Amino acid sequence: CVNDFRTNLTMDSIYPISTSGELFPWTELRLPPSVHPVHYNISLHPNLALMTFQGCVSILVQVLHETKNIVLHSSDMNISKVTFEGKEVHVLEYKPWQQIAIKFPEDLKKGQYVLNINYTAKLSNSYDGFYNSSYVDTNGTKRVLAATQFEPLAARKAFPCFDEPAFKSTFTIKMTRERKYISLSNMPKVKTTDLKNGLQEDEFEKSVKMSNYLVAFIVAEFIGVSNNVSKTMVSVYAIPDKKDQVQYALDTACKLLEFYNTFFENDYPLSKLDLVAIPDFLAGAMENWGLITFRETTLLVGNNSSSIDKQLVTSVIAHELAHQWFGNLVTMRWWNDLWLNEGFATYMQYMSIETVFPDLNIDTEFLNVRFKALTKDALNSSHPVSTVVSTPEQVEEMFDSVSYEKGASILLMLNATLTDGEFRKGVIEYLQKYNLSNTESEDLWNSLSQVRPFLSEMNLRCLKQNLSVSEMMNTWTVHKGFPLVTVKRNGTQVTLTQEHFLLNAENSTDDSSLWHIPLTYVNDSCSFLSSCKQVFHLKDKTATLKLPDQVKWLKFNFKNDGFYIVHYDEEGWKNLIDALKGDVNVLSCKDRAALINNIFTLSSSGKVSFRQVLNLMDYIRNETETAPLTEALFQLGQIYMLLDKRSELNLSYIDDHFGSLMAGQSWDLESSVSKMTLRSALLEMACSLNIRNCSTQAKHLFDQWFTSNKTSLIPSDLMRTVFKVAAQTDEGWGKLLDTYKHSINDQEKRKTLEALASTQDIRKIICLDGSEIQTQEFPLVINAICKNFAGYLYAWDFVKENWDKITQKFPVGSFAIQSILMSATSQFSTKTHLTETQNFFTSPGTKGSQMRIVREAIETIKLNMRWMEKNLNTLQRWL
């Protein structure tokens, strides 16, 4: 009796209580594996006047194991009727997990059944689920539309479903709409039926087998242009006022689609591919299969758009098209392996553009991306590429630079180890083997391991050391962080030591991680060409390398293709610095940029003095290439922002090292992406610090532009800098506000908004009308405000006071929340601000207090405090 009682007590206590007061028959966030969906018939009728929609979903399910329950997802719906095999059944709901359940008195036998659910819901006013959006056309008329954003966990807000990536199924969608609208979905439209009351119903083809988060539909007044490529109709849609801004995207998508079809040896499987510019859209874009959605700024290209603007649009299109294979055709099994989707799409975006659009200089951008990933991954608060995910907030948090940029970086490193041909063979094998299926990281490594018989002679060393692809790459996905390789030389013998690199090693809880590092290096006899590269596989804590007698210096991590940083002994650094001072071209521009990045990073951790940093930076007077110069400007810019917050600025160092370059920049139209990238970085810093009359020139250009009714062009790559200067005066700020209200060029509009938010006059920031600014731009506005001395404290106060509203609008843990919080706190460097931040997130009831980004913010403040304490005196003497 005692045992029975305790069993009953345990069972009652572990099952949650549903909204009806009954026990809910499931105890986990993940759905039970006993029932799988096979096909969905979905009928929807959005009412864009009332901002509601009616829905009916019929799900063909497969019972794999006998069960008394069917559990699926549903969120924020009013369910009016549920039938199972034609008989009405009772449904239970457990809102905290967004689950509903149907309980049966007897076990359901194995087989297929039909579940029907009728429901109504509100069109969401956030940016996920089936949400409403609006814009004002050039006639001043407000237009409304409905669109979807389901990744990662919001398909359940549009229709009840098994909302996990592994529950792939097919879908047939019908959409009822008013005649003035069109509707789009993943598949081509089969037919349109006239209904009463002037309504029409569009029916779409049955879809391929796919995950719920890739389903999409739109009801809007859009128009499109199309082109047929490789048996696929490619179309780009936008609002009518911007129909003349879609051609570049169409041409770009067609070229990239042809490239991917050839590269993967696996043609895009659908007969149509739509790219749609949504006026109010939070993400940069979303890879819905056959219906890719974008922000207007990441798809539309106006007449005055620069090559840098085109680089952004091309990058986003390349990323989303790569997803049609990596993510859509083959999908990660669960969100812990999100990097399989995002890391691969990020890697392919850069690789494809380098091949198809070489003039866009994407290689430098990819280098900067790798530096960004290293910075994030050097924190204790970072996480492994593949990590345990068990809550909705943790799922949202996976959309960060570790999944995207680090994922892409380790794939680049693997490709550099295998060579392009071998890597490509493994990728093709992976896509063919797991077509329309779900995978885990190990499946990718196994496919890439199939190329082992074709390893080049250089890589036979891997086999001799019994190093498989899986063994090597697991060390990069299972461990968080990355290695620091320390190089100590004694004559011809080099001792190599690896350790987990952390910016704040004092709080490290793990110093035992070892990576299998494909170390690459060059020396003074041959250092510039890829043929100079030598490889040494470092698996252990320490290893030795034998050199020829005549070697003067070594540079490890050739072109920064490896995801690690390098620290040399005193003589090693001296030899490299002396070599650069003698001739900057002894190393490639990527290697020079990497040295700058590594030494600043090592200084931040306390492993080298800031005096050593400045010693390396002395060579920069002779530098002319974009990659090292922009990296140097970025690193110094981070320091100057901290100093600005302490009112400690001294501009002589920047003027001495970069002044002549700044003064020599043209303010005219420029076609080279590399030159535009460099001058944009140089002039933005020059104008922000008011060096070499930069602000005077920018103001003159702005006045010409405005008085000519904007016919006197400002080069698009300089527009942000020019606008920021103009925004510092009352007259200029007012003109920019008028420009923002009336511009239909989205790149121009965004640069204008950033400038408006950069004013030093807090009263103007307060006066920015929220009704004029789309909520999607809130993270941008906060970031811009925080970069100036007057605004960063105001922004933090605003975020604190409005935190509940912010977390209602943007999902907790999402990239938007991450961006807002880091922007608002990353400039803090005092004990007062540290305590204030800690107290805010430990206050009872503060949403998101357990987010990883909170730990990252606090860690960053501590690092800023330590860095300023150690280096401020040196900075005051040298800068």
The superfamily CATH assigns to domain 232-360+383-476 is Neutral Protease Domain 2 (1.10.390.10)
The listed CATH number (3.40.250.10, 3.40.50.2000, 2.40.30.20, 2.60.40.1910) that belongs to domain 483-615: 2.60.40.1910
3-state helix, strand, coil in the chain (%, to 5): 45, 20, 30
Q: Which residues of 99-109 are buried (b: 16+ CB within 10 A; e: fewer)?
A: bbbbbeeeebe
Three-state SS sequence of 353-376: HHHHCHHHCHHHHHHHHHHHHHHH
| Cα–Cα separations (whole angstroms), residue 248 to 236, 307, 317 | 10, 11, 11
Q: What is the pTM of this model?
A: 0.94
DSSP code of residue 31: P
What was the pLDDT predicted at 504?
Answer: 87
- Domain boundaries defined on the chain: 18-221, 232-360+383-476, 483-615, 652-702+709-726
CA distance 818 to 823: 8
Q: Are strands 493-500 and 483-490 parallel, antiparallel or unpaired?
A: antiparallel
CA distance 464 to 449: 15
> What does 70-134 look like in DSSP terms, one character per residue?
EEEE--S-EEEEEEETTEE--EEEEGGGTEEEEEEEEEEPSEEEEEEEEEEEEPBSSSSEEEEEE
Query: Nearest 5 degrees, angle CA 431-CA 435-CA 441?
Result: 60
Query: Do the domains 18-221 and 483-615 sit in the same CATH topology, yes or no?
Result: yes
Could you report the average pLDDT of every consecutive run of 10 residues in the chain (879 residues)?
36 78 94 98 98 98 96 97 96 96 95 98 94 92 97 98 98 98 98 95 98 98 96 97 96 98 97 97 94 97 90 98 98 97 98 97 96 96 94 93 97 88 93 97 91 46 60 94 97 95 75 90 81 90 90 94 97 96 95 98 93 94 96 91 65 87 91 92 92 93 92 91 96 93 88 93 81 84 86 88 90 91 92 94 88 93 90 71
pLDDT (0 to 100) of residue 453: 42
Report phi then psi at 285, rounded to 5.
-170, 170
pLDDT of 3: 36
DSSP secondary structure letters along 122-172: EPBSSSSEEEEEEEE-TTS-EEEEEEEE-TTTTGGGTS-B--STT--BEEE
For 279, 754, 833, the CA distances from 828, given in Å and listed in that order, are 34, 21, 6
Identify the pLDDT of residue 441. Answer: 95
Give the pLDDT confidence score for residue 744 in this predicted structure: 84
Catalytic residue set: 320
For residues 152-176, one letter each, b for 16 or more C-beta atoms within 10 angstroms of the residue's C-beta and e for the rest, the string is bbbbbbbbbbbbbbbbbbbbbbbbb
- Please state which of the four CATH numbers 2.60.40.1730, 3.40.50.200, 3.40.50.300, 3.90.1200.10 is assigned to the domain occupying 18-221: 2.60.40.1730
- 342 has binding-site annotation: yes
567 marked among binding-site residues: no
Pairing of β 330-332 and β 437-439 = parallel
Q: Is 748 annotated as a binding residue?
A: no
The two structure tokens encoding residue 536: 């040494």
What DSSP designation does 173 have?
E
Asked if 825 and 643 count as a contact pair (C-beta separation under 8 A), the reply is: no
Place of tokens 């792939």: 168
Relative to beta strand 170-178, strand 35-47 is parallel
* DSSP letters for 801-825: HTHHHHHHHS-TTSHHHHHHHHHHH
pLDDT at 650: 66
